[in-house]
Amino acid sequence: MYEPNLWHINRTSTAKAFAIGLFSAMVPLPGQMFIAAIVAVRWRANLPLSVTLIFVTNPLTMPVIYFAAYQLGATILDTPVNPIEFEMTWSWFGERLGAIWEPFLLGCLLMGIAAATLGYFAIDLLWRWRVVDQWEKRAAKRRKNPY
């Protein structure tokens, strides 16, 4: 069955896409694109926009965002923030990730929820504001020149 919201840009599908894409961007797992795509299809959100928004976390922004997530989780769990010297080795994942996974995942979850909520309501409000602004401009134009 064809679902038009998967491909069309409208207020609802766009706001949902922002929520899905921004939440999926905070998921610290490979396959963020697949997560965003599956949820977009299920929730009838704009599919290309949902998948594209996961690139908020990219090789340039990922270290900053994920370290902030770790710090947020550590603060909430009241655990000390350990300095992290990341190495792309199996031994680092085995030794260091085990010590920080709880605050890291909690921070990612909370940042994902916050980003999704903010993205959804920001797009919804901006879209509504733009429509009302266009209506007011058309009404003013009609009052100025009724014919």
Nearest one of 69, 101, 96, 102 to 83, comparing CA atoms: 96
The percent of residues above 90 in pLDDT, for the chain, comes to: 67
Does pLDDT of 63 surpass 70? Answer: yes
Tell me if residue 28 falls in helix, strand or coil. Answer: coil
Q: Where are the alpha helices (DSSP H) in 8-146?
A: 11-25, 32-43, 47-52, 62-77, 90-95, 97-144
Contact by Cβ (8 Å): 112, 3: no
Q: In the prediction, which pLDDT does 119 show?
A: 97
Average pLDDT over residues 92-104: 79
Task: Identify the pLDDT of residue 40.
Answer: 96
Mean pLDDT of 42-70: 93
Check residue 80 and give left, alpha or beta (phi > 0: left; psi -120 to 50: alpha): beta
Is residue 51 over pLDDT 70? yes
Q: State the pTM of this model.
A: 0.86
Residue 96 has pLDDT above 80, yes or no: no
Q: How far apart are CA 123 and CA 22, in angstroms?
A: 12
pLDDT at 93: 67
Q: Six-digit token pair at 119?
A: 């993205």
* CA–CA separation, 63 and 86 (whole Å): 9
pLDDT score recorded for residue 26: 96
